[in-house]
Amino acid sequence: MKSPVNVAITGAAGQIGYALAFRIASGQMLGADQPVNLHLLEITPALGALQGVLMELNDCAFPTLNKIVATDDAKIAFKDCHAALLVGARPRGPGMERKDLLLANAQIFSVQGKALDEVADRNVRVLVVGNPANTNSLIAQRNAPNLNPRNFTAMVRLDHNRALAQLAEKTAVHSTRIRKTTIWGNHSSTQYPDLHHTLVDGKPALSLVEQSWYADTFIPVVQQRGAAIIKARGQSSAASAASAAIDHVRDWVNGTPEGDWVSMGVPSDGSYGIPEGVIYGYPVTCKNGDYQIVQGLDLNEFSRQRLDATHKELLEERDGVKDLI
């Protein structure tokens, strides 16, 4: 039997946390042969609700769940953790942009970055889900100078999965037969869902759909999907967000399939003309527990403008929290 992996989830009694904890505990993220210790973090007023989550987790008698720690102390939650899913943060309501949450949530990621720096496993993999995810991830990274900066990532996988779903519906081909789709940039309405390299059953996606559908329907639908869910449900996406978080960490740890890539928000390294200093959605492949940004993709003028526009927004967000980084 493998030794248990410590997985921290913040905001574990919230909507996403509630969906996430059970799937991780049942082995859907790290595998059916990998025991996990769940470290659940909440704010003090939510500890009662968190106790209920803990009771339900125990009641599932999952073979892969080894131990649960439930706490309101980040240093206990992050102690020796190998993976940290930073979900706990305020969600937006109708009419808000995700960057409107910046000041409300930024402090959380500064405190948690410091706690990770102090007590987490030195190779901890961090996924920030709480919005605005890219900039929150940057804040956590900058407050954890002793950890590997590459290991601070942000979730654009939900956007990636949404793009697959839209294209699958349009082309009447199952999403498993779609390859090489990218979400560039910010998890926000400036993100750029790029189909220029996408293959549907081996054929270029843009040869199967009209350019007007791509530019005027597909891109805005993916960019605005979070707002559409809030309008329909009265609350922001939760089960699909948890599912995307599982996909992100699973692929990072276990690798991406040959001939495909996924989208992850990772520290920019100059690739595709995006200078270091932001957490940016890129196409990545994963192998041996690490990720690499896919290199050498052609970008036409249509794409270039969109990559730069979403980068500009990330710089504005970064300026808004300069005291914390």
**CA 6 to CA 132: how far, in whole Å?**
25
Site string for ligand NAD, 189-228 (x = CB under 6 A): ----------------------------------------
Restricted to residues 243-302, the positions that interact with ligand LMR (CB under 6 A) are none
Residues in the chain: 325
Q: How many residues bind ligand NAD (CB under 6 A)?
A: 29
For residue 285, the one-letter residue type is T
Strands 152-154 and 178-179: unpaired
Among 5, 46, 65, 83, binds ligand NAD (CB under 6 A): 46
| Candidate ranges 1-9, 80-88, 200-208, 233-241; the one touching ligand LMR (CB under 6 A) | 233-241
**CA 173 to CA 204: how far, in whole Å?**
13
Q: Does 124 bind ligand LMR (CB under 6 A)?
A: no
Closer to ligand NAD by Cβ: residue 40 or 208: 40
**CA 21 to CA 33: how far, in whole Å?**
17
Q: How many residues bind ligand LMR (CB under 6 A)?
A: 11
Q: Does 98 bind ligand LMR (CB under 6 A)?
A: yes
Q: Give min distance, CB of 204 to ligand NAD, in A.
A: 28
If DSSP codes are grouped into helix, strand and coil, which group holds residue 298? coil
Q: Does 226 bind ligand LMR (CB under 6 A)?
A: yes
Burial environment of residue 97 by CB neighbours within 10 A (0 to 12, 13 to 18, 19 or more): middle
Q: Which of 39, 82, 160, 187 is catalytic?
A: 187
**CA 299 to CA 301: how far, in whole Å?**
7
Specify whether the CB–CB gap between 283 and 163 falls below 8 A. no
Find the helix or strand (DSSP H, E) in which 52 lies: helix 47-60
Q: Does 306 bind ligand LMR (CB under 6 A)?
A: no
- Residue 13 labelled as part of a binding site: yes
Q: Return the sign of the alpha-carbon dihedral for residues 312, 314, 318, 320.
A: positive
Closer to ligand NAD by Cβ: residue 155 or 324: 155
Q: Does 134 bind ligand LMR (CB under 6 A)?
A: no
Q: Between vectors from CA 221 to CA 214 and to CA 311, what angle results, nearest 5°?
A: 85
Closer to ligand LMR by Cβ: residue 15 or 64: 15
Residues that bind ligand NAD (CB under 6 A): 10-11, 13-17, 41-43, 46, 87-92, 108, 129-131, 133, 155, 158, 187, 236-238, 241
